[in-house]
């Protein structure tokens, strides 16, 4: 479990202090305007930045104290598909996720863990990519290319819980900082992610561009603004976010005339 204790990052980029914890099996959305600090927060959770105040703990121990090989088995930071991976077959790319988290494969003299094919199929199914396993990443449309990147991370932290080459079998954490998608694509993706979070007891944290969609699909939503976590929203308070994100309707001449009438 990841816990934030008065965590803050001073300087630029910055994050104001706050406390919370990420629960296994939950889908947490992060919303907010451009420059709000969403990527900064994801970067902190991924261990790319170290907090300048407070701490982030993985199972009670500061994140940076865990060996990187162990962190690779627990936490995966998913970013937009890089051009450098465009020639990779989707199936191989997804399998790479598991290989990256298996530090002991070479010690056992095996070229790959026996559970690799099943893990790859599990991850492809979770992201609805069964029919695209033999295509190249660069041939996929942006939605499926992002799904392939997520499938690779799923393979890394969750799809092979009984792999003999992994040291530990604790709950995984997926941190998604992807390119914005069209509303219905994002909603579909979030629905699949929610199913995966339940099935694999994964904690998934996703930067989300469509706030209404996120509220419908996520267990919780953190609303960020100016480097601060302003609110911790549940779907039950959907109207609160709407009030924040929908600008007031411009006043019509009729309204103005009404308002100025003494
Ligand atoms: N490497 C950097 N150097 C200087 N300033 C940075 C750097 N990275 C981020 N910032 C600044 O820190 C603040 C938070 O940025 P961050 O990328 O976390 O926001 P965001 O909510 O993810 O924005 P967006 O939705 O545009 O991706 C912004 O004001 C940004 O300009």
Is residue 18 scored above 60 in pLDDT? yes
Dist CA 119 CA 103 (whole Å): 16
Closest CA to 44 of 7, 97, 69, 5: 7
In this structure, the residue with its CA closest to atom 7 of ligand 1 is 13
Angle at which helices 116-126 and 90-100 pack, to 10 degrees? Answer: 120
Q: Which atom of ligand 1 is nearest to the CA of 41?
A: 18
Q: Are 205 and 42 in contact (CB under 8 A)?
A: yes
36 lines ligand 1 (CB under 6 A): yes
- pLDDT bracket for residue 160 (50, 70, 90): low
Where in the chain are the domains? 81-169
- pLDDT bracket for residue 213 (50, 70, 90): low
User: How many angstroms is it from 12 CA to the middle of ligand 1?
Assistant: 8
Pocket test for ligand 1, best of 8, 9, 12, 222 (most atoms within 8 A of CB): 12
Dist CA 188 CA 217 (whole Å): 9
- pLDDT bracket for residue 212 (50, 70, 90): confident
Q: Between residues 171 and 195, which one has the greater pLDDT? A: 195
CA 231 from centre of chain: 19
In this structure, the residue with its CA closest to atom 30 of ligand 1 is 35
Is residue 248 scored above 50 in pLDDT? no
Report pLDDT digits (tens) over 83-101.
Answer: 999 999 999 999 998 887 7
Pocket test for ligand 1, best of 40, 77, 175 (most atoms within 8 A of CB): 40
What pLDDT score was predicted for residue 235? 56
Is residue 57 scored above 90 in pLDDT? yes
Rg (alpha carbons) of the chain, rounded to whole number: 20
What pLDDT score was predicted for residue 247? 43
User: How many angstroms is it from 28 CA to the middle of ligand 1?
Assistant: 20
Share of the chain above pLDDT 90, in %: 52
32 lines ligand 1 (CB under 6 A): yes
Of the listed ranges 21-30, 103-112, 184-193, 252-261, the one predicted with least confidence = 252-261
12 lines ligand 1 (CB under 6 A): yes
Q: What is the mean pLDDT of residues 187-204?
A: 93
Q: Which atom of ligand 1 is nearest to the CA of 42?
A: 18
Residues in the chain: 262
Q: What is the mean pLDDT of residues 156-179?
A: 78
What pLDDT score was predicted for residue 245? 43
Report pLDDT digits (tens) over 97-133.
Answer: 888 777 654 445 556 777 888 889 999 999 999 999 9
Is residue 24 scored above 50 in pLDDT? yes
Dist CA 206 CA 190 (whole Å): 9
């Amino acid at each position: 479990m990841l816990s934030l204790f008065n965590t803050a990052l001073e300087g630029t980029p910055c994050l104001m202090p706050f406390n919370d914890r990420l629960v296994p099996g939950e889908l947490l959305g992060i919303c907010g305007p451009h420059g709000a600090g969403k990527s900064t927060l994801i970067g902190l959770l991924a261990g790319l930045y170290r907090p300048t105040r407070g701490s982030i703990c993985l199972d009670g121990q500061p994140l940076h104290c865990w060996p990187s090989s162990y962190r690779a088995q627990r936490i995966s930071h998913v970013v937009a598909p890089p051009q450098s991976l465009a020639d990779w077959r989707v199936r191989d790319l997804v399998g790479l996720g598991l290989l990256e988290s298996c530090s002991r494969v070479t010690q056992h003299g095996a070229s790959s863990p026996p559970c690799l094919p099943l893990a790859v199929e599990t991850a492809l199914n979770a992201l609805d990519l069964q029919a695209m396993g033999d295509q190249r990443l660069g041939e996929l449309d942006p939605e499926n290319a992002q799904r392939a990147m997520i499938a690779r991370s799923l393979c890394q932290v969750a799809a092979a819980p009984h792999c003999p080459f992994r040291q530990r079998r604790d709950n995984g954490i997926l941190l998604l900082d992807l390119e914005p998608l069209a509303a219905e694509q994002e909603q579909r993706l979030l629905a699949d992610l929610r199913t995966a979070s339940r099935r694999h007891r994964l904690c998934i944290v996703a930067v989300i561009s469509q706030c209404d969609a996120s509220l419908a699909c996520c267990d919780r939503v953190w609303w960020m603004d100016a480097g601060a976590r302003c609110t911790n929203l549940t779907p039950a308070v959907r109207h609160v976010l709407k009030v924040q994100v929908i600008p007031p309707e411009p006043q019509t001449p009729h309204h103005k005339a009404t308002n100025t009438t003494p």
